[in-house]
Amino acid sequence: MSDLHQLLQPGTTAVVTMEMQRGVVGDLSTIADLAEAARTANLIEEIGRLLDGARDAGATVCHATVSWRADRRGTSMNTPMGRALSKNPAQILDGSDAAHLLPAFAGHGSDLRSHRHHGFTPFTGTDLDALLRNCGIRTIIATGVSVNVGILGLVLSAVDLGYSVVVPTDAVVGMPSHYAAEVIHHSIAPLAALTTIDDILATWSD
């Protein structure tokens, strides 16, 4: 716990949510397996609990979101995953309900938001690094989806940029669950401090 106290000073810590949007894990999701994994893990409620604690403690909350133009301009379909998703002409379009943050996460004026139109990770080609540095952030708590790509990419980019990273394992999901557990154990654990939402909240309440 002492290590968490050092890492999670509220004034220099940000909780970053990854793609907690209606069209990704919410009621308009087009990736059924991922949405089901989120439901099974009670992910929305659990991350919401962490965000409430972060705001109360004075930590920063930032939502990393994604959407595409209808004509796909500015979004390279250079991966099998991107090409598969693009077969749905309504896939998370700019301004659509699917692109919105989940209702449970919206409406907090103090939260930051970093948006992208391309790629699968939140730092490359976005303003996320500048936003966090301008707020004096040194530690990132990574939450959201998915462990397979987005969370792993967030962690890798963050440590390359010099941030310390904390991953509450009950605030991320991937699919299938056994594979996500292996990614956390073998790929993320060497890069980030693994913990739980309860331990983070306890650290902030001390």
**Is the pLDDT score of 1 beyond 70?**
no
Question: Beta-carbon neighbour count of residue 205 at 10 Å?
Answer: 9
Range 7-10, long-range pairs (CB < 8 A, 24+ positions): 7/139, 7/164, 7/166, 7/193, 8/59, 8/139, 8/141, 8/166, 8/200, 8/203, 8/204, 9/139, 10/54, 10/57, 10/58, 10/59, 10/204
Give start and end residues of each alpha helix (H) in the chain.
2-7, 32-40, 43-57, 80-86, 128-134, 150-160, 177-183, 197-205
- For 66-98, write each residue's pLDDT tens digit: 998 988 888 888 888 888 888 887 788 999 999
Tell me what the pLDDT averaged over the chain comes to: 95
What is the per-residue pLDDT across 94-139, written as a single tens digit (0 to 9) for each? 999 999 999 999 989 999 999 999 999 999 999 999 999 999 999 9
Cβ atoms 43, 66 nearer than 8 A:
no
Statement: 2-205 belongs to CATH 3.40.50.2000: no
Tell me how far apart the alpha carbons of residues 29 and 23 are, in angstroms, rounded to a whole number.
Answer: 4
Q: What does the pLDDT read at residue 81?
A: 83
Mean pLDDT confidence for 30-48: 96
The domain locations on the chain are 2-205
Peptide bond into 168 cis (omega under 30): no
- CB–CB of 54/60 below 8 Å? yes
pTM to 2 decimals?
Answer: 0.95
How many other CB atoms are found less than 10 A from the CB of residue 37? 21
CB 92, CB 24: distance < 8 Å: yes
